[in-house]
Amino acid sequence: MSDKAEATGTQEAVEVHHDEHEEHHAHSFWRTYVFSTDHKVIGMQYGFCGLAFLFFGYCLIATMRWSMAYDGQAIPFVGPLLEALLGNNVAPGGVMSAELYNVFGAMHGTIMVFMGIVPAAFAAFGNYVVPLQIGAVDMAFPRVNMASFWAFFFGCVIMSVSFFIPGGAAQAGWTSYSPLATVIPTDGQTYWLIGMVMLITSSLLGAVNFLATIINMRAPGMTWLRLPFFVWAQFITAFLLLLAFPPLEAAGILQLMDRVLETSFFLPTGLVVGGQDVDVSGGGSPLLWQHLFWFLAHPEVYVLILPGMGIVAEIIANNTRKPIWGYKFLVGSVVVLGFLAFIVWAHHMYMTGMGTVISAFFQTTTLLISIPSVIILTCLLISLWGGSIRFNTPMLFALAFLPMFGIGGLTGLPLGFNFSDVALHDSYYVIAHFHYVVAPGTIFAIFAGVYYWFPKMTGRKMSEFWGRVHFWSSLIFMNLIFMPMFAQGMAGMSRRMSDGGATYSLANPDNADVTVGALSDTIMGLNVSISAAAWAMLVAQVPFIINLFWSVKHGEKVESDNPWQATTLEWETPTPPPHGNFIKEIKVYRDPYEYSVPGARKDFSPQAQPAK
């Protein structure tokens, strides 16, 4: 059968099936919007949950910032609420206790990473956009896809419920280092572990599905080097999740055994807690937990950033109206980055006394991995050169991503060398570093993606004016929050202190004799300004939230299925795309970013447009 004949045949078939489904689904609200197997609905479910948890996680830190700026004072508005909800031993008189600070701190990290960014950046955009961009009708395993979402949802429920159990949620930080995490007598950590096992299961199901979809469901003509960079980024991300998450699952199971069945995988011999010998066999290794944890948690950093880079690449190509510079470099870099991501994990552990040989090895690989990262950033930067740039909201966020991620990446180098890490380890410098990567990095990319693909999802654009308000205020406050933290960190302020370092400040009379190392009033004063910026940041998200919901019904209607005049396949579908996505047979003839092709009639040549 010739290609042409096959194409016509299938096209009819697709249309017939399409109609059947429309009719069938019209009657079933639950199957269409809740227990859906449609990748687009699942993508939006992930997106909604992810954004909601990003907001919730941010509220946690905004509350903690009060404790750091004004330790021991009642929190206005929120304090009485906390006291009523969580009990007066947790928040007596509306004052945040150190235990509650620890709960919020541990859960802020957990929620932001595993319940916020991964679902929003990887699962939401991946689900919605990847099958469309490769010209597939759905994911390879739609029901596994649904199972993945509901495993995620169930994990989120367990995590959320744990706030309200006696003793509260997990308190040992998002890293949950043993023995601390094991010997804390409250049940929060057990909930955390069970919740994590659910979230990991969800990620594994999702990763298998993404990989199978990208490998086996590409439209005819969609060769590997015609994949949009976003798809490549998601492909590598899925591999990272597939192979790096199971060791954390193993670690989670072992820590669960330690907590529930009193084994001592992570408890050393002779452990004494509160002056009492612990009735365990000992012989375990606290270092083992750190190895297993960081074996996931470092690749996790790339899980957080790669989808963001993918989104940014799409938007930059579209709004500079020219091909991405060095597409093959980008692809090569992201593949190399994926490999190297697995052999850098112990640079989080320089302070554990692993030995100089191991430190030297991980220092080397860590510095090596900066090469592909820099290549990606450089390619994206050079792509701007000579473009006639359209400064719309998605593009503003994508442009801001470049320097912000750049700051985050470059400030990581001193942490990659073990000699300088010794000074900076566990300080606010580290917090500033990784938040520059994920907050104005990935989260800006998520915003960019929302503004960019919103017209495809709803048929309407979000308000451009309020988008700009959102962008500029977020950009300013983001830097006001995190830039001073570098200074605090270099002055020696440790992380995870509920009083914001007051114990170690010069203002504390106990430190009157301390001549070196106490925190100056300037450094302590930054706590207040950072907190103020953090609350302003929360307010700055209001325009976005309103814009998002308001525009679903009232936004400016898009004229065509391809409002941004983009080249990739997701814009070939009707708006919004129906179940089954494409109403015409999709065949790919071109590279992903054929913008401003010399001699072409228009300044963009879609991938599905046959070459003349």
**What is the sign, positive or negative, of the torsion defined by CA atoms of 461, 465, 466, 470?**
positive
Whether 483 contacts 467, CB under 8 Å: no
| Rounded Cα–Cα distance for residues 425 and 445 (Å) | 28
Using the contact rule CB under 8 A, the part of the chain among 106-114, 277-285, 407-415, 462-470 near other proteins is 277-285
Q: Does 18 bind other proteins (CB under 8 A)?
A: yes
Out of 59, 242, 354, 597, point to the residue binding other proteins (CB under 8 A): 242
Q: Which of residues 557-586 bind other proteins (CB under 8 A)?
A: 579-580
Q: For 269, phi and psi rounded to 5 degrees?
A: -65, 140
Out of 86, 273, 288, 469, point to the residue binding other proteins (CB under 8 A): 288
Using the contact rule CB under 8 A, the part of the chain among 285-293, 354-362, 459-467, 516-524 near other proteins is 285-293
Using the contact rule CB under 8 A, the part of the chain among 61-69, 251-259, 333-341, 426-434 near other proteins is 251-259
Using the contact rule CB under 8 A, the part of the chain among 140-148, 386-394, 436-444, 593-601 near other proteins is 140-148
For the bound state, the minimum distance from the C-beta of residue 286 to other proteins, rounded and expressed in Å, comes to 11
| Long-range Cβ contacts of 357-360 (<8 Å, 24+ apart) | 359/418, 360/418
Out of 137, 196, 198, 240, point to the residue binding other proteins (CB under 8 A): 137
Which CB atom, from 291 or from 587, has the smaller least distance to other proteins? 291
Out of 7, 11, 21, 609, point to the residue binding other proteins (CB under 8 A): 21
Omega cis (within 30) before 179: yes
Residue 269's CB: how many other CB atoms inside 10 A? 10
Q: Which of residues 162-221 bind other proteins (CB under 8 A)?
A: 204, 207-209, 211-212, 215-217
Residue tagged 């302590």 (tokens): 524
For the bound state, the minimum distance from the C-beta of residue 249 to other proteins, rounded and expressed in Å, comes to 6
For helices 356-383 and 327-340, the axis angle rounded to 10 degrees is 160
Q: Which of residues 291-330 bind other proteins (CB under 8 A)?
A: 291-292, 295
Which CB atom, from 533 or from 586, has the smaller least distance to other proteins? 586
Best CA proximity match to 330, nearest among 372, 383, 368: 372
Residue tagged 């004494």 (tokens): 272
Which CB atom, from 5 or from 261, has the smaller least distance to other proteins? 261
Site string for other proteins, 141-160 (x = CB under 8 A): xx-x----------------
Which CB atom, from 171 or from 290, has the smaller least distance to other proteins? 290
Residue 565's CB: how many other CB atoms inside 10 A? 16
Q: Does 129 bind other proteins (CB under 8 A)?
A: no
Which CB atom, from 171 or from 264, has the smaller least distance to other proteins? 264
For the bound state, the minimum distance from the C-beta of residue 305 to other proteins, rounded and expressed in Å, comes to 21
Which CB atom, from 219 or from 446, has the smaller least distance to other proteins? 219
Name the burial class of residue 258, with classes exposed (0-12), middle (13-18) and buried (19+) by CB atoms within 10 angstroms of its CB: buried
Which CB atom, from 167 or from 220, has the smaller least distance to other proteins? 220
Which CB atom, from 15 or from 510, has the smaller least distance to other proteins? 15
For the bound state, the minimum distance from the C-beta of residue 265 to other proteins, rounded and expressed in Å, comes to 6
For the bound state, the minimum distance from the C-beta of residue 242 to other proteins, rounded and expressed in Å, comes to 5
Out of 180, 183, 250, 552, point to the residue binding other proteins (CB under 8 A): 250
Which CB atom, from 357 or from 512, has the smaller least distance to other proteins? 357
Using the contact rule CB under 8 A, the part of the chain among 100-108, 134-142, 448-456, 485-493 near other proteins is 134-142
Q: Which tokens is 450 given?
A: 């929302």
Q: Does 436 bind other proteins (CB under 8 A)?
A: no
For the bound state, the minimum distance from the C-beta of residue 281 to other proteins, rounded and expressed in Å, comes to 5
Residue tagged 């300044």 (tokens): 603
Which CB atom, from 21 or from 495, has the smaller least distance to other proteins? 21
For the bound state, the minimum distance from the C-beta of residue 100 to other proteins, rounded and expressed in Å, comes to 29
Q: Which tokens is 89 given?
A: 């031993």
Buried b (16+ CB within 10 A) or exposed e, 145-182: bbbbbbbbbbbbebbbebbeeebbbbbbbbbbebbbbb
For the bound state, the minimum distance from the C-beta of residue 139 to other proteins, rounded and expressed in Å, comes to 8
For the bound state, the minimum distance from the C-beta of residue 512 to other proteins, rounded and expressed in Å, comes to 45
Half-sphere CA count of 213, side-chain side, radius 13 A: 32
Out of 52, 59, 243, 480, point to the residue binding other proteins (CB under 8 A): 243
3-state helix, strand, coil in the chain (%, to 5): 70, 0, 30
Which CB atom, from 147 or from 597, has the smaller least distance to other proteins? 147
Q: Rounded to the nearest 10 degrees, how much is the dihedral formed by the CA atoms of 373, 374, 379, 381?
A: 120
AA identity, residue 440: P
Whether 611 contacts 70, CB under 8 Å: no
Q: What Å distances lie between residue 219 and 164, 227, 233, 238, CA to CA?
A: 48, 10, 18, 20
Which CB atom, from 138 or from 314, has the smaller least distance to other proteins? 138
| Rounded Cα–Cα distance for residues 244 and 257 (Å) | 21
Alpha helices in 282-426 (DSSP H): 286-320, 327-340, 356-383, 393-410, 413-416, 418-424
Site string for other proteins, 256-275 (x = CB under 8 A): -x---xxxxx---x------
Out of 244, 344, 399, 523, point to the residue binding other proteins (CB under 8 A): 244
| Rounded Cα–Cα distance for residues 99 and 340 (Å) | 38
Using the contact rule CB under 8 A, the part of the chain among 136-144, 179-187, 361-369, 534-542 near other proteins is 136-144
* Helices and strands: H and E segment counts in the chain: 21, 4
Out of 84, 85, 165, 253, point to the residue binding other proteins (CB under 8 A): 253
Which CB atom, from 263 or from 318, has the smaller least distance to other proteins? 263
Can you say whether residue 565 is alpha, beta or left, with left for phi > 0 and alpha for psi between -120 and 50 degrees? left
For the bound state, the minimum distance from the C-beta of residue 221 to other proteins, rounded and expressed in Å, comes to 12
Buried b (16+ CB within 10 A) or exposed e, 102-118: bbbbbbbbbbbbbbbbb
Out of 140, 236, 462, 537, point to the residue binding other proteins (CB under 8 A): 140
Count interface residues toward other proteins (CB under 8 A).
Answer: 51
Site residues (vs other proteins, CB under 8 A)? 13-14, 17-18, 21, 137-138, 140-142, 144, 204, 207-209, 211-212, 215-217, 242-247, 249-251, 253-254, 257, 261-265, 269, 279-285, 288, 291-292, 295, 579-580
